[in-house]
Amino acid sequence: MMQHDNPVWLITGCSTGFGRELARLILARGWRGVVTARDPSTVADIAAGHENQALVLALDVTQRAQIADAVAAAQQRFGRVDVLVNNAGYGYLAAIEEGEEAAVRAMFEANVFGLIDMTKAVLPIMRAQSSGLIVNVSSIGGLTSFAATGYYHGSKYAVEGISESLAIEVKPLGIDVMIVEPGPFRTNWAGPSIKQSATRIDAYAATAGERRKQTEARSGKQAGDPVRAAQAIIDAALSDTPPLRLLLGKAALDLARKKLDMMKNDFDTWESTTLGADFPPGEG
């Protein structure tokens, strides 16, 4: 659980989007924040006027040495970390067959291994406190999948699986895990931050190709408000019982429910085949 009295939040990826809005709200509440970004000059304005509460640090989550330095600096300055927000991440548009290995691996380095390394670096502090909250920013794309974002889904489904196991392991130690699953929000995600494969295969024009176009066209017009999302994350973090999953926005809720229905339909339709794969009762 988060320590409620003047908690220390450590947030990755604060230059734009959710991370930026969250850092601003944390500091506006008078809480303490380790406000990190690959280029710390991008967050100087957030910390301005909050020098007593804010520690601004350079942090690329794919750089192990920077992670160790940042967590040590946070510990030295504030003596604790109450909430870690693994927010840094980005998307990559490509049909699976179009995917370029170096770009795919780079995205997994940020979205998955960066989150893992940050978590491992902060856990000893939270274990010593016997308290803490780890907020892993996944996506509705960590629950359900579309054309052109298969590799991104792979990275976010990885975040979901890792987070579920982590939650079981750290609950008895007084630490909570909350997976945040936004639908489409008006951040840089679909705009300046998105990466795409240069490879295009005509056979995927009607599926992945169309989805690339839709993603670009939607940028800046998404229904989701990142400020309200940041407030929702704070509200859930303040709960004595934060949810394992927090969906953000109506699109996320609708898609998650549709996914549950699809899974239930498959499970029910194929139930007898599923059950038939075990040894018959009393045999073996």
Q: Which residues bind ligand NAP (CB under 6 A)?
A: 12-19, 37-39, 59-62, 87-90, 110, 114, 137, 139, 182, 184-185, 187-189, 193, 222
Does residue 12 come out as left (phi exceeding 0), alpha (psi in the -120 to 50 range) or beta?
beta
Does residue 79 come out as left (phi exceeding 0), alpha (psi in the -120 to 50 range) or beta?
left
Closer by beta carbon to ligand NAP, 67 or else 123:
67
Closer by beta carbon to ligand NAP, 38 or else 200:
38
Minimal distance, residue 251 CB to ligand NAP, in Å: 9
**Burial category of 70 from C-beta neighbours within 10 Å (exposed 0-12, middle 13-18, buried 19 and up):** buried
Alpha helices per DSSP H over 130-174: 150-170
- From the CB of residue 142, how many other CB atoms can be counted at a distance below 10 Å? 26
24's tokens: 């601003």
156 catalytic? Reply is: yes
Nearby residues of 87 by Cβ (< 8 Å), 6 or more positions away: 11, 12, 13, 14, 17, 18, 19, 22, 135, 137
Minimal distance, residue 86 CB to ligand NAP, in Å: 8
DSSP E strands, the chain: 8-11, 32-37, 54-58, 83-86, 92-93, 132-137, 175-182, 195-196, 245-248
What is the total residue count of the chain?
284
Minimal distance, residue 70 CB to ligand NAP, in Å: 10
| Catalytic option among 90, 152, 157, 204 | 152
**Which residue lies nearest ligand NAP, judged by its C-beta?**
17
Minimal distance, residue 57 CB to ligand NAP, in Å: 11
| Catalytic option among 156, 157, 163, 197 | 156
Give the three-state DSSP class for 8: strand
Closer by beta carbon to ligand NAP, 9 or else 189:
189
Closer by beta carbon to ligand NAP, 81 or else 110:
110
Closer by beta carbon to ligand NAP, 221 or else 268:
221
Minimal distance, residue 114 CB to ligand NAP, in Å: 6
Q: What are phi and psi of 178, to 5 degrees?
A: -130, 125
Closer by beta carbon to ligand NAP, 75 or else 155:
155
Minimal distance, residue 6 CB to ligand NAP, in Å: 25
154's tokens: 């792979």
| Catalytic option among 90, 92, 138, 163 | 138
Among all residues, which ones are annotated catalytic?
A: 138, 152, 156
